[in-house]
Amino acid sequence: MINSIIAMTVFILVLSYAIGKIVSMKLNLSEKLPYAIPLGFFIILGLHQIITLPVMIWHLSSQVLVILTVILGIVLSGYALFKIKLWYRLTWQLDYILIVIMAGVLIYFYANVDSLNYSGEDFNFYIPFVGSNVNAMQVNMINPWSGETGVLNWIYNFQGYYLFLSALSQLLNVDYMLVTLWLPSIIFLIIMPLCLFNAVHYYFKDTHWFMKWVLVGGLFCLVNDTLSGMIYSYYGNQFRPLIMIYLIWIYVASREKETPWSILSLIILMFSHYSVQSTGLFVGGMLVLLLLGFEVFIAKQPNLKLPVTLSIPLAFYVIGIISTMSMLFALIATIILVVLYPLIYWLVQKFSNIMKKIMRFALILLLASILLISIVMTLKGIASPVSMASFIPDYINGITYFTEKSFISYQAILLPLKVIYTLVGWALLIGVLCYRCEVEEYRLYKVILVGTLIFFYNPFVAPFISKYLTGIVYGRTTILLFSLITFAVGVKFYVSLMKSIKAKTILTLGLTAVFGILFINNSVIHAQDFSLKFLINDTTYDPYYKLPYDLIEAEKALVEYKLEYFKEPDYRTTVMSCDLRTRFLYEPQILVFNVATLRDFYMNYDTNPYEYRMFIYSLLTNSKSWAEEEPSVYNDLERRMRAYTIEFVIVPADGDPLLYETLGSFANRIYINNSYVVYHISYLNQ
């Protein structure tokens, strides 16, 4: 199985290199962005998103998904072979040494870390999301949190990246969990160093090779402010910031020389941006507005067509959302857009000055409306994830970018570190804003930063933006502020202030050292906060599944018993487990208490429906002291469990003896190992 995954990974990387090389040459970017794999992979994801939109809209079978994925692979491979003269020569670069070292170290780190150790992370949704669409009669028809059948929420329904993994799992006939954990992780941990090198080549072209390597190290520490990118590297969220910077780079290239290839690449990359995570939707929409603002307020030679072009994928997304409500309305909306976009293109070409004024007025009106609605929401006490009052204490740290925690308790060191934490984010932003260059590209970067702070990230607009656009993940808006571009240009500004090569070298080394200290500090804090565990020589964990052997064996025993007892392979059993990672394994099953209910309970969103389930979960996970403090808590356990039709219960093997005694009075113990005990509750006599 692992060999199949490795072979497919190599194939995707080679195809990504070929497609990326062809596209970068068509866009005249092969010198600025010499490493083609990232661009090629993002193009593949975008194309896959486009061709599978009908599958997601109409919830077609996974068989159709696999067929479309295979067709895409054949077409792209055929095109790459047809254009082989453009890409087959791989010239030696000194950078390859560091790229191989970085990718090798990152993959080794990922292979030996417990990346499924924290039950609250989003992987509890996305790993089952991939599994629920393997060999499915209809895709996106199972809730990944719980396993219950039902149409997936529109927020998640159009994330084609995960369907891509589902298709590969079904095509290779390999366990979806192995595919999800390893294939995209290896690709990401190779792509990330390549993106860093591309950024250094883009902004520091004439720098000595050794200093380029130093800059790559500094940017790595900035981009990976915690270990998340290396621990959860299979998560689509890791690709999203990288896709965004390619969107901006190709947007700049399109302004310099607009071609059909550049327009098509922009559209495909925006589809790719939407495919990897729902956050890509609102961040992409924000980016379109910011680029439009640049064209109508700042650009010397505005090109209104480009922001309009970038909005096309967003329009398709909206049509997809409408289709979940009414196919008729979706058809009408499609017809309107088919007519509207050519009309807008004609208007911006024929009456560019008038359209520029209209769009300028529309943006000012939009900002005024957001401010007014936010004020009204505050005055009327309308609840929102972020209020004007909560923005400062809860989200101002997003501006500083780094955590104020420190693993160093020595006060003389802690205080300077906190000062650095507070200043480094502002320093990078100010560096971009102060960078003087006649090239319009740098003015575009400034507009993105200033526009984000004015339109989307301040206490006055936070109530509206968080309630109607971002939801509880409002903090992810900061990716528009702290992107790889911001880091690179910010560093470039401070280095450019130095006159001599020696001074530039000293400053570059000094900044990289500071970024390295911050990265080490944040990584240690992250490891402590999430109880990070390394699996080297740990015989209790399966190194491929990254789960305890005991949990895997307990789940296998449950499935075998279910098949023997119910005689129906597709019967969806209801399970209550002390370990929420149970949801990863062996479809189909319904996890009665899952990460979503746990989150909702603690976030106080409609608590009542979950309090009984939370109570049962607490009984299953708490220590032996419960029996000594309050033995009566178990008196009503059977009634509560039967109220939710719980059929199987998984409890820790070192729990409260009274819990086992209580469960044994109404349930049959079917399996036990060193870590878990599995019970079956029968309903035949009811």
pTM for this predicted structure: 0.93
Q: Work out the percent of the chain whose per-residue pLDDT is above 90.
A: 55
**Sheet of strand 676-680, all strands in order from the earlier edge strand to the far edge:** 589-591, 573-577, 648-652, 676-680, 668-672
Q: What ranges do the domains of the chain cover?
A: 547-680
CB 448 within 8 A of CB 290: yes
**Quick one: average pLDDT of 577-594?**
83
**Polymer length in residues for the chain:** 686
Taking only the tens place, the pLDDT of each residue in 643-654 is 889 999 999 998
Please state, rounded to an integer, the average pLDDT across all residues of the chain. Answer: 87
Taking only the tens place, the pLDDT of each residue in 505-528 is 999 999 999 888 888 877 887 777
* Phi, psi angle pair for 680, to nearest 5°: -115, 130
Residue 655: HSE in the Cβ half-sphere, 13 Å Cα cutoff: 25
Per-residue pLDDT, 684: 65
Per-residue pLDDT, 415: 64
Per-residue pLDDT, 28: 92
CA pair distance 488, 202, nearest whole angstrom = 9
CB 495 within 8 A of CB 435: no
Run of H or E including 541: strand 541-542
**Quick one: average pLDDT of 562-589?**
83
Question: Is the predicted pLDDT of residue 262 greater than 90, yes or no?
Answer: yes
**What pLDDT band is residue 217 in, cutting at 50, 70 and 90?**
very high
Q: Terminus-to-terminus CA distance in the chain, angstroms?
A: 44
CA pair distance 25, 31, nearest whole angstrom = 9
For residue 209, count CB atoms less than 10 angstroms from its CB and return exposed for 0-12, middle for 13-18, buried for 19 or more.
Answer: exposed
Per-residue pLDDT, 227: 78
**What pLDDT band is residue 179 in, cutting at 50, 70 and 90?**
very high
User: Pairing between strand 589-591 and 573-577?
Assistant: parallel
**Quick one: average pLDDT of 545-571?**
89
**What pLDDT band is residue 94 in, cutting at 50, 70 and 90?**
confident
Q: Does residue 174 come out as left (phi exceeding 0), alpha (psi in the -120 to 50 range) or beta?
A: beta
Per-residue pLDDT, 457: 92
In this structure, of 102-111, 285-294, 329-338, the range with the lowest mean pLDDT score is 329-338
**Quick one: average pLDDT of 530-549?**
85
Question: Is the predicted pLDDT of residue 403 greater than 60, yes or no?
Answer: no
Contacts of 462 (CB under 8 A, 6+ apart): 374, 384, 386, 387, 388, 391, 395, 474
Per-residue pLDDT, 401: 45
The better pLDDT of the pair 397, 264 is held by 264
Contacts of 659 (CB under 8 A, 6+ apart): 619, 620, 626, 627, 634, 651
Q: Work out the percent of the chain whose per-residue pLDDT is above 70.
A: 91
Question: Is the predicted pLDDT of residue 4 greater than 50, yes or no?
Answer: yes
**Quick one: average pLDDT of 400-420?**
58
User: Pairing between strand 676-680 and 541-542?
Assistant: unpaired
**Quick one: average pLDDT of 68-84?**
94
Question: Is the predicted pLDDT of residue 33 greater than 60, yes or no?
Answer: yes
CA pair distance 543, 112, nearest whole angstrom = 7
What does the CA dihedral 444, 446, 451, 456 come to, rounded to 10 degrees? Answer: 110
Taking only the tens place, the pLDDT of each residue in 417-447 is 666 766 787 889 999 999 988 788 999 999 9
CB 477 within 8 A of CB 239: no
Per-residue pLDDT, 423: 79
Taking only the tens place, the pLDDT of each residue in 471-492 is 888 988 989 999 999 999 999 9
Contacts of 10 (CB under 8 A, 6+ apart): none
Contacts of 360 (CB under 8 A, 6+ apart): 296, 297
Per-residue pLDDT, 292: 95
Per-residue pLDDT, 606: 46
The better pLDDT of the pair 348, 241 is held by 241
**Can you tell me whether residue 222 is helix, strand or coil?**
helix
Per-residue pLDDT, 89: 74
**What pLDDT band is residue 631 in, cutting at 50, 70 and 90?**
low
Per-residue pLDDT, 607: 47
Taking only the tens place, the pLDDT of each residue in 652-663 is 998 888 888 889
CA pair distance 423, 150, nearest whole angstrom = 48
Per-residue pLDDT, 406: 54
**Quick one: average pLDDT of 228-245?**
91
CA pair distance 348, 354, nearest whole angstrom = 8
